[in-house]
Structure 1
C-alpha cells in the first residue's frame, strides 16, 4: 500500500491523564508539619510556597500529555531532562509520512547573535521559497522511503531518509514543578522576570500545556505568574 506525504502546521497537545490539583500541593506540604487536613487559605499558602521556593510539594502533581509534533520539536522538548517520554518507533511501525508545513506568518530571518537575537518575518519571496523547498523535499523523501519499503528494506533503515519535519507521537509525563520550569523557558510573556527566546513551534506546544496547567491548578498557576514565571 502506498503511503503518500501529507502536510500539517499544527502542534497537537492532548491531556491523557492528570493527577494534579492545588489541594495535593497543600497536603504534600503539610506532611512536614504533621498538619494534613488543617484549614488552609489555599491561595495564600500556595503563594507562600512559590514565593519562597518550597518546590517539592509541587512534584506530587503529575500530567501526561500526548504530543503529535515534528521530530525537530520533539528533540527540543526532550532536551528538558525533567520528564519521562515514550515515542512511537520507526522500527516497529511504518512512518505516517506526515510533515510540517511552514505557516506564512512563521518568522524566518534571524537577526543578531546567539543568545541575543530576534526573528523577523522575512520577505514574501523568502516565505514562498522556504515553503516550496520544504514541501518538495518532503515529497521526495516520502517517495524514497516508500520505495525502500516496497523493495523489502527494513523500516529502521528506510526511515533514515526522512527529514526532521516528519511528525512523531510522544507521551510526556511531567510533574508540576518541572512543568513550570519548562513553561518558564518555552513560553515568553511580559510577566517573565527572565528573558527567553523559545523556538516558535515549541512555544505553540507550551501554550497548550499551560492552559491545562491553569485549568487543573489555578492557584499554583496564579502564583507562578505573580512571581515572575520562575519554578519554585
Structure 2
C-alpha cells in the first residue's frame, strides 16, 4: 500500500487534532477515522468522514409518532423491524465517505452502484502512478465450467507462472510506453502527448483512487452483493473490510443487516412451493420441480 506524503500528512494532522462537536458520534467509527487499511497489493480503504449512528436511524423512524422509547433494547428491536420489513428511509439518515485506492477494472464494477457520490483521480490532469494489480498465485484460476462470470480450478506450476509473467510484463511495457508518450524531448522532435490521450494505452489493472460517499441503506445494498462469496475476489476483499468498518460504526444496524440480508436466502415462488411440498413429505426432483436446470442447481446448493 502506498500513500502519498501529502495524504499521510493529512491523516496525521487530522488524527492529531480531535475537535469537540455537538453532533452524534459513534465511538467505533471515531477509532476508524483516517486509518488506511491495506487491500490487495497496492490498494487501500479509509474513512474520511461520516454522519449519524444507530440512534440516528431510530430518531428518523420515530419522528412521525413522537419521542417513543429510548432504551437500547427498544432501539435494537426497532432497527430489526425496519430491516426485516424493508423500511429503508431511516437507514438513509446515516452517511459515510471513503477514500479508496483500487485497480481500474475493480472500479468499473464498483461504479455500477450508481447511488453514491464519486470523485475520481483524474488522469487528464495528473500522471497515474506505476502501480499495477498482480494477483497472488492462489487467486489465479481457470474459467468456471458452470458459471460464465466465475472462476474454476486453480492454475498451478508453470502455467500459473506464465500467466503472472505475462500480466507483469504487459503492464510494465504499457506503462513504459505511457511515460514515453508523455515525455517531451525537443531534441528528438517530441512534444509529448496530452495526458488525456496517453492514458488510453494503460491496462485495466493500473490503480486509480476516488472518494466515495454513500448513505447506509445503499451501502448495505453494495455489501449484500459485493461481500457475498459469489462476488469477484478483487472487489469482495474491499467489501469485507467495509463491512468490518460498518459493524464498528452502527453495530445494531449491522447485526440486523447480517441476519436479514447478508446471511439470509431469498426464495422464488417456485422454490417456496418446492419447500412446502418437501415439508409435506413429498420427494421433489428436478423434473417435477418446475425449475430450470440452473435454478434447481442453485436451490440444491442452498437447501440440499
TM-score (norm 1): 0.87
Select which of 10, 23, 36 maps to 2:55: 23
Distance in 1, matches of 2:164 and 2:150, equals 23
CA RMSD of superposed structures (Å): 1.7
**Deviation at residue 103 of structure 1 after TM alignment:** 0.7
Q: Does 1:179 align with 2:251?
A: no
User: Using CA pairs below 8 Å that are at least 6 residues apart, which structure has the higher relative contact order?
Assistant: 1
- Matching residue of 2:287: none
Q: CA deviation at 1:12?
A: 1.1
1:110 alignment counterpart: 143
- Structure number with greater Rg is 2
Question: Please, which runs of 5 or more residues in structure 2 have no aligned partner?
Answer: 1-39, 185-191, 265-304
The CA deviation at 1:115 is: 5.9
- Structure 1 unaligned blocks of 5 or more: 1-7, 190-196
Distance 2:123 2:97 in 1: 22
| Correspondence for 1:91 | 124
**Richer in strand (by share):** 1
Pick closer, same or farther for the CA change 1:150–1:117 going to 2, 3 Å: closer
Displacement of 1:97 in angstroms is: 2.0
Greater share of helix: 2
- List per-residue Cα deviations over 1:40-72 (Å, max 9, x = no partner): 411111111111111110001001111100000
Match of 1:69 in 2: 102
Matched, 1:161 2:201: yes
Q: How many residues align?
A: 215
Map Cα deviations across residues 100-144 of structure 1 (whole Å, 9 max, x no partner): 111111142122244685533222223211211011011111110
Equivalent of 1:14 in 36, 46, 60: 46
With structure 2 as the length reference, what TM-score do the two structures score?
Answer: 0.67
- What SS does the corresponding residue of 2:67 show, helix, strand or coil? coil
Shift of the 107–228 alpha-carbon distance from structure 1 to 2, 3 Å rule, reads: farther
